[in-house]
Structure 1
Amino acid sequence: MSEPSSPSVPTSSPSLSSIDTPPPPGTPPNLHQNTIHPEARWVVQKYGGTSVGKFAAQIAENIVPDYLDRYKLAIVCSARSGSTKSLGTTNLLLRAASEALQRAPQVRSPLQSGAATPSSISRGSRTGSPPHIADLLADHHANNVSSFNKTVDLIRSEHIAAARGCVKGKENLSELEADIDRDCENLRAFLYAAQVIDEISPRSKDSIVGFGEKLGCKIIAATLRDRGIDAEYVSLENVVPPYDQVDGTLGQDFYDQVGSTFATRVRQCGARVPVVTGFFGPVPGSLLKQVGRGYTDLAAALLAAGLGASELQIWKEVDGIFTADPRKVITARLLPVISPEEAAELTYYGSEVVHPFTMEQVIRRKIPIRIKNVENPRGGGTVIDPDADSDADPLPDFGAAFLDGMFTNAHVNGTGTVARQRQRLPTAVTIKERIVVLNVQSNRKSVSHGFLAGIFGTLDRFGVVVDLISTSEVFVSMAIEDVLDRKLQARLVRDLEKIGTVSVHRDMAILSMVGKQMRNMVGIAGRMFTTLAQGNVNIEMISQGANEINISCVLDARDAVKALNLIHQSCLQIKPEGPKGRVGPWLF
């Protein structure tokens, strides 16, 4: 699944660069567009907040132009990140929403008291009609300078500065700045209205958060136009079709409808490059509640599925998926191909890959996902391949001569030919930190099924997700993410103590070794735990999934990085096998 340095359509089609097709009528001169060749397929590129915030010019100059002559390209953008996580656009928008509900101690406004201010009276007397809502809101603003105004001003200034750093053409920049001002004033008015009624519904919060994607996409679209690319800003906020929920959930048919609707809207752009908002509200039951903050990835996946794209690309600031976190394991290597099952396990247990539900939307359509680096666009990245061979080691492409040396245990079979069994290795190892272990021992007042039902009922009331669990009839150990505040965690423990004796171990970490080729790999679990024991790493609990592609254990967070390196060295690296070994230490 290596990516060519210059993308191409299937070999059965003619070279698209050799076809001189005139641009559609009304196209501005000298603007680079998507190919309109009938056999060209779509590629959907999704850019995260950091890429939008720091690498907009790189995207417009070094990435997008490489695809336009051979593919139909659609771009999906997240909201811009900030210099710190708290200054990210989405976090600022959520802060502004919270601030809008904080009552200001200043003078009550005419909307709150029913009284009219001189300005509102004069406006009413001039027109002979009651004052307009916009006038009342202006009076409300004059009397109540809310803290969310400063937050909106900060959002505006951050985006204006970004616009001036990316867009050099005066006309493009002037238009973009006007768009940013208009959106920020609309946001301000929305927050004023929320403050007046003293309520922000889940759907309103969706709308507030959606301003981030609008602003980010407008900056990317303007940057593309500034670099000579015919880009069109596309908002998905009002295209979601009506849907009747069943039991408060959204079924797969809803997501199929959404993907088809997205594709229809994007095709209306013709040869222009659509720059699409990751926000696609309103969704029944609230987008944030139904999907969470990963909705931009999901929007890109649904669009790719609706278009029948040849590939979904997720652009990050790393080269792809590694055998371990390269910041913590210096010998970690890039994985050119990985299976969806392995990617899902790595996501669950600490590696930020792609959310499994998002991945499912394209994998079920046999569309591969490629993770790529905005700072290294020529790199092949990592492909999450729906047809990945479960028995193939995801090793780097060193060429046939190198791969020939990766076979061990050679022997002569009955026909005189050499049969070789390829050495099997786990795919990756990862750690998930900030873990709490809860141990619950039955008080023996309930039978085993009632014991487990009580535990999981309690966890459900607190909205706690269990990462790992190990059980016996009267004892349960659970590893959960340390996301509850201490007061809520204390309430959870008190409720569990009604069921049995509870002990809590904080500052723990989950170490997970993942690999489809680990199935039936005799001795791999023994090697893993022997390695940890020899490294003097104590294990709190052990768990292995029924799918047999993940072996996990919980250990002290202080030992996490050491354990990660020990397992990577012992279980994931090919070692020489002495004088008869076919694999040399030069490989890694």
Structure 2
Amino acid sequence: MVVMKFGGSSVADADRIRHVASIIKAYKDEKPVVVLSAMGDTTDHLLEAADLAVSGKVDISGVEKLHRESADKLGIKIEAIDDLLEELTQLLTGISMLKELTKRTRDYLVSFGERMSVRMMSAYLTNQGIPAKFYDAWDIGMISDSNFMAAELLDEVWENIPAHLNGYKDGKDKEIPIVTGFIAKDKKGNITTLGRGGSDLSATMIGSAMKAKEIQTWKDVDGILTADPRVVKEAHPVPEVTYEEAAELAYFGAQVLHPRSMMPCIKSGVPVRVKNSYNIESPGSIIVENHSGEVPKVTAITSVKHVTLIDINSTRMLGSAGFLAHVFNNFLKWGISVDVIATSEVSVSLTVNGKTDLTGLLQDLDHVADVEVQKDKSIVTIICDADHSSAILASGFGALAEAGINVQMISQGASKVNITVICDDDEVNQVVNTLHKAFFG
């Protein structure tokens, strides 16, 4: 069994649905379970419809047009979508009467995208002679807590999913399951959404619970690349990365699986393969627990622009055990998340999202420290085997020195798979290209 996940751009319209259907057909002998996102911009259209409903107007034309036109082009008639469009109209009518959109109602609203997507795909596959059956996530036991817009799946999901899908895995059920990503239900029967990386989490949870051969996430590139190809023309696919390396890549800007979506795989050991839907012959990149061969010194380079660098210095608290505690209690107080950090006895340098409001934090820190804030910075992360950090630093910083670039902060991650530097936004592309050339030639 394999689990195949396709995002919204992969099923954006009738032509893309045909293409994805051809990929599913090519894998039908491997017993695929397919996880889909909403078609194209459907989620945006649903949220726009909600805004209109709050102002008193009910309009589903954007959502309805895409799905009806796609169904016509695919030559299928889907009564189940008609039922969902009627249900959606009723929901928006209720919103227009109450003139408010709660988190619970928002989750119910956006679920229509995924629910219509799986009905569309299963109907088209069946029409093409490939028996398929659509499932809303809760139909296979995807139960979550009630934290609307950012729900977490409950532990019982590990048992629920096999109870529903073992018949297909064993060959008794012949229809390919087409399952909604991103959504679940809580114990009370309310629809929830799984937050960031939700569709990937749906796929990895199903694959892990079913002990699949592998989980495939289909994108528009040949797997995970050594750098962003928009920045580095010479970027090339990485055959293999570990769960830990993939998590660091995703956290520091690469378009890989969200770190939380890999938690089921870390628990189960099921590998994830990143494939190219435009080049199905490419093997892509596989994400595994440990490298199968020699561990590469450097795996990839990634970057995040528009961060803010904060330097906090306090000679007044020299040797004080409470310095770091005081600093980070203030970050906790104001709900500010830190990305990268470097410390010394009386100073801390760290980065935060460039859009973060620092007003309250700076007022509180001003009582114990001198604080300097520098905006328009970038994080450049070298995903690597930190056991070779001296050689990596020598090669990388030698190349940066030759290019006349001085970085402003260095941090080696506790994970032992990354080395991070901070530079100006206007030189980040040069830094990434220089490092890529130094490490990959």
- Per the TM superposition, whether the score is higher than 0.5 is yes
Aligned equivalent of 2:12: 53
After TM superposition, give the deviation of residue 311 of structure 1 in Å: 0.6
Residue 282 of structure 2 corresponds to residue 379 of structure 1 = yes
Aligned-partner residue type, residue 130 of structure 2: I
Unaligned runs of 5+ in 1: 1-41, 82-87, 105-143, 394-424, 574-588
After TM superposition, give the deviation of residue 284 of structure 1 in Å: 7.0
Tell me how far apart the structure 1 counterparts of residues 261 and 317 of structure 2 sit (CA, whole Å): 43
Residue 74 of structure 2 corresponds to residue 206 of structure 1 = no
Aligned-partner residue type, residue 183 of structure 1: L
Tell me how far apart the structure 2 counterparts of residues 529 and 478 of structure 1 sit (CA, whole Å): 21
Tell me how far apart the structure 1 counterparts of residues 145 and 219 of structure 2 sit (CA, whole Å): 36
Tell me how far apart the structure 1 counterparts of residues 424 and 104 of structure 2 sit (CA, whole Å): 41
After TM superposition, give the deviation of residue 504 of structure 1 in Å: 2.0
After TM superposition, give the deviation of residue 67 of structure 1 in Å: 1.6
Aligned equivalent of 1:502: 371
Higher Cα Rg, which structure: 1
Q: Which string of whole-angstrom CA distances, capped at 9 and with x for unpartnered residues, describes residues 383-423 of structure 1?
A: 11224237333xxxxxxxxxxxxxxxxxxxxxxxxxxxxxx
Aligned equivalent of 2:423: 555
After TM superposition, give the deviation of residue 453 of structure 1 in Å: 2.7
After TM superposition, give the deviation of residue 501 of structure 1 in Å: 3.0
After TM superposition, give the deviation of residue 97 of structure 1 in Å: 3.6
Q: Secondary structure at the match of 2:281?
A: coil
Residue 94 of structure 2 corresponds to residue 94 of structure 1 = no
Q: Which string of whole-angstrom CA distances, capped at 9 and with x for unpartnered residues, describes residues 519-566 of structure 1?
A: 135422122122222212231211001333211101011111111111
Tell me how far apart the structure 2 counterparts of residues 89 and 464 of structure 1 sit (CA, whole Å): 32
After TM superposition, give the deviation of residue 287 of structure 1 in Å: 8.2
Matches within 5 A, 1:165-314: 165=73, 167-168=74-75, 173-174=76-77, 176=78, 178-237=79-138, 240=141, 255-267=154-166, 270-283=173-186, 291-314=194-217
Tell me how far apart the structure 2 counterparts of residues 288 and 480 of structure 1 sit (CA, whole Å): 29
Aligned-partner residue type, residue 209 of structure 2: G
After TM superposition, give the deviation of residue 445 of structure 1 in Å: 7.0
RMSD: 2.8
Matches within 5 A, 1:61-76: 61=22, 63-69=23-29, 71-76=30-35
After TM superposition, give the deviation of residue 154 of structure 1 in Å: 1.1
Aligned equivalent of 1:406: none
CA 1:469–1:303: 2 relative to 1, 3 Å: same
CA contact 1:238–1:282 (8 Å) conserved in 2: no
CA contact 2:143–2:154 (8 Å) conserved in 1: no
CA 1:244–1:550: 2 relative to 1, 3 Å: closer
Tell me how far apart the structure 2 counterparts of residues 528 and 203 of structure 1 sit (CA, whole Å): 49
CA 1:265–1:463: 2 relative to 1, 3 Å: farther
Aligned-partner residue type, residue 47 of structure 2: L
Tell me how far apart the structure 2 counterparts of residues 242 and 49 of structure 1 sit (CA, whole Å): 23
Aligned equivalent of 2:412: 544
Quote the sequence identity (%): 31
Q: Secondary structure at the match of 2:438?
A: helix
Q: Secondary structure at the match of 2:298?
A: coil
Matches within 5 A, 1:181-580: 181-237=82-138, 240=141, 255-267=154-166, 270-283=173-186, 291-389=194-292, 391-393=294-296, 425-442=297-314, 444=316, 448-484=320-356, 488-516=357-385, 518-573=386-441
Unaligned runs of 5+ in 2: none
CA 1:345–1:279: 2 relative to 1, 3 Å: closer
Tell me how far apart the structure 1 counterparts of residues 219 and 144 of structure 2 sit (CA, whole Å): 33
Q: Which string of whole-angstrom CA distances, capped at 9 and with x for unpartnered residues, describes residues 131-166 of structure 1?
A: xxxxxxxxxxxxx4x2xx33x22122122233333x
CA contact 1:256–1:302 (8 Å) conserved in 2: no
CA 1:445–1:546: 2 relative to 1, 3 Å: closer
Tell me how far apart the structure 2 counterparts of residues 514 and 250 of structure 1 sit (CA, whole Å): 30
Tell me how far apart the structure 1 counterparts of residues 180 and 63 of structure 2 sit (CA, whole Å): 18
Tell me how far apart the structure 2 counterparts of residues 245 and 322 of structure 1 sit (CA, whole Å): 37
Aligned equivalent of 2:3: 44
CA contact 1:372–1:380 (8 Å) conserved in 2: yes
Aligned-partner residue type, residue 552 of structure 1: T
After TM superposition, give the deviation of residue 282 of structure 1 in Å: 2.4
After TM superposition, give the deviation of residue 438 of structure 1 in Å: 1.9
CA 1:494–1:308: 2 relative to 1, 3 Å: same
Aligned-partner residue type, residue 56 of structure 1: I
CA 1:245–1:206: 2 relative to 1, 3 Å: closer
CA 1:476–1:281: 2 relative to 1, 3 Å: same
CA 1:570–1:260: 2 relative to 1, 3 Å: same
Tell me how far apart the structure 2 counterparts of residues 429 and 199 of structure 1 sit (CA, whole Å): 44
After TM superposition, give the deviation of residue 241 of structure 1 in Å: 7.0
Aligned-partner residue type, residue 337 of structure 2: V
CA 1:242–1:44: 2 relative to 1, 3 Å: closer
CA 1:268–1:157: 2 relative to 1, 3 Å: farther
Say which is worse superposed, 335-344 or 275-284, in terms of deviation.
275-284
Aligned-partner residue type, residue 406 of structure 2: N
Tell me how far apart the structure 1 counterparts of residues 371 and 95 of structure 2 sit (CA, whole Å): 44
Aligned-partner residue type, residue 372 of structure 1: K
CA contact 2:249–2:256 (8 Å) conserved in 1: yes
CA contact 1:428–1:515 (8 Å) conserved in 2: yes
Q: Secondary structure at the match of 1:218?
A: helix
CA contact 1:239–1:280 (8 Å) conserved in 2: no
CA contact 2:145–2:154 (8 Å) conserved in 1: no
Tell me how far apart the structure 1 counterparts of residues 425 and 103 of structure 2 sit (CA, whole Å): 36
Tell me how far apart the structure 2 counterparts of residues 491 and 308 of structure 1 sit (CA, whole Å): 48
After TM superposition, give the deviation of residue 492 of structure 1 in Å: 4.1
Q: Secondary structure at the match of 1:325?
A: coil
Q: Secondary structure at the match of 1:444?
A: helix
Q: Secondary structure at the match of 1:464?
A: coil
Tell me how far apart the structure 2 counterparts of residues 511 and 243 of structure 1 sit (CA, whole Å): 36
Tell me how far apart the structure 1 counterparts of residues 70 and 48 of structure 2 sit (CA, whole Å): 21
Tell me how far apart the structure 1 counterparts of residues 191 and 130 of structure 2 sit (CA, whole Å): 32
Tell me how far apart the structure 1 counterparts of residues 185 and 379 of structure 2 sit (CA, whole Å): 37
Tell me how far apart the structure 2 counterparts of residues 243 and 153 of structure 1 sit (CA, whole Å): 31
Tell me how far apart the structure 1 counterparts of residues 145 and 399 of structure 2 sit (CA, whole Å): 53
Q: Secondary structure at the match of 2:268?
A: coil
Say which is worse superposed, 450-459 or 552-561, in terms of deviation.
450-459
Q: Which string of whole-angstrom CA distances, capped at 9 and with x for unpartnered residues, describes residues 291-348 of structure 1?
A: 4132111111111111110110000111101111222212222111112221111111
Aligned-partner residue type, residue 135 of structure 2: V
Say which is worse superposed, 43-52 or 430-439, in terms of deviation.
430-439
